[in-house]
Amino acid sequence: MNWKTLEEDRRSPLALFALLVVLMFALDGCATIDRNLSPLELLAEGENVVGTAAHTLADSADAGIIERGSDEYDKAAIAILDAGEALDRGWELYASGDVIGAVASREAAMDLYRRLVRPTLVKYSLESSE
Amino acid sequence: MNAATASLLIKAIDIAWLGLAAWENNADAKTANEPAVASLLELRQKITLGLISEERASEEMDILITQLRSYRKSGEARL
């Protein structure tokens, strides 16, 4: 990236913001997350992540950043709902005393979020800043 | 920068910040769910010590888990 060009570009604040977002998510991907959490805390964290993703996707659609009914929106929305079902199963297993199964369900939910939801949110956050 | 662009830029910041914070910062999740998590841990202790009937424990656990799921459920309803 040419910094001089950036400085001269009248949209440079947006370009710089885009760079910042890329750096944030690059760091995010490398972040070491404390996994010394109890199954209950892991499930609660999963709720927060998937819940935030759902609200963020809905906010993005309300703001016109992503179109409801588009392939990407539907793909992310379905993945969020599937992740929610995985968390529901996790809670059922937790309540029945199967904490290993509960954590496995939570991991399935996080896997859906990582593969199918977060990339869409990152993409549209970058596109909307251009 | 016109108003529409500014609005989208603010939304982009929201998305970047919320996405990052939710994923990276366990402290946020702990804080948001802390009351219900603490109550659930306390409930499990009571169950372990036999201080609460199985039926009552099951009812209380259902209530607390519903609280923990409410934020996600409200998000899902908006999709």
Instruction: Give B49-60 pLDDT, tens digit per residue.
Output: 888 888 888 888
A33 reaches B (C-beta below 8 A) = yes
A88–B41: do the CB atoms touch at under 8 Å?
no
A59 reaches B (C-beta below 8 A) = yes
Looking at the complex, report in whole angstroms how far the Cα of residue A109 sits from the nearest Cα belonging to chain B.
12
Q: What DSSP string describes A46-102? A: HHHHHHHHHHHHHHHHHTTSS-TTSHHHHHHHHHHHHHHHHHHHHHHHHHHT-HHHH
Structure pTM? Answer: 0.68
Choose the closest CB to B11 out of A47, A60, A126: A60
Per-residue pLDDT of chain A (130 residues; tens, 9 = 90+): 454 554 555 555 665 555 555 545 544 443 334 456 788 888 988 998 898 889 888 988 988 888 999 999 999 999 999 999 999 999 999 888 899 999 999 999 999 999 999 888 888 766 665 5
Choose the closest CB to B14 out of A14, A40, A59: A59
A105 reaches B (C-beta below 8 A) = no
